[in-house]
Amino acid sequence: MPASQDSHPLDDTLRDRHVIVALTGGIACYKSADLVSRLVQAGATVRVLMTDSATRFVAPLTFQSLSNAPVVTNVWDAQSNYGSPHIALARWCELMIIAPASADVIAKIAAGICEDVVCLVGAAIGTTKPILLAPAMNADMWGNPITQQNVATLKDTLGYQFVGPDSGWQACRTTGPGRMSEPEAIFNTAVELLNRKKSS
C-alpha cells in the first residue's frame, strides 16, 4: 500500500528544521498562508507570529490550521511555556521570516523598538540566526529615504537578508516597487539560507 501523504511531508527538503513566519500589517498577509503551507509540506516545523495589525487582514485560525500550532499574537501569550515566550521562540528557531514586513516593523527593528511580539523575537535573535524580510508597502513608502535608510541599517548592522520587494499592481491602485515577493521566491530563499546554515 502506498504511503499516505497525510502522514508524511510532500517533500523532505526541510524535515526537522524550525522556522518562524512572522506577519505584520498589510494586505499581502494573504500570501503568507501559501508560504506557511509550502514550508510545512517541505517538512519544516513552523511557528507563526502575528502583530495586531496583521490579524486585521487574516485570522490567526488560518495559520493555526496550516501550521498545526498555536499562533502567537501577543507577548503575553505564554501558553504552556511559563518563561518568556519571545526568548523561547528565538532559541527554538533556525530561521525567522518576516512576511509581509511593513515599513513600520522595518523602522521599529532598525531603531531597536520592541513593542510587539515580532520585534521582540527579532531582537532576541539578534545576529545569532538568519532573519529574512519580505517587504510589502506602497511604492512611495518603499522609496521614502527613511525607509531606505532603515533597510540599510538592517542589512549592514544586523546582516538581515531581504527578498524583494517586486514591482507591480498594488492595493492603492498604483503600480511600482513595493509588492511582496511571491511565496515561491520567499520559500526558495529560505531553503537557501537554511542549507547555508546547515553546512557552515
Length of the chain: 200
Q: Is 172 a catalytic residue?
A: yes
Q: Which of 93, 114, 119, 172 is catalytic?
A: 172
Angle of CA points 151, 153, 159, to nearest 5° = 95
DSSP state string for the chain:
-PPPTTSS-S--TTTT-EEEEEE-SSTTHHHHHHHHHHHHHTT-EEEEEE-HHHHTTS-HHHHHHHHTSPPB-STT--TT--S-HHHHHHHH-SEEEEEEE-HHHHHHHHHT---SHHHHHHHHHTTSS-EEEEE---HHHHH-HHHHHHHHHHHHTT--EE--PEEEE-TTS-EEEEEPPPHHHHHHHHHHHHHHHHH-
Phi, psi torsion values for 6, nearest 5 degrees: -70, -25
Residues that are catalytic: 172
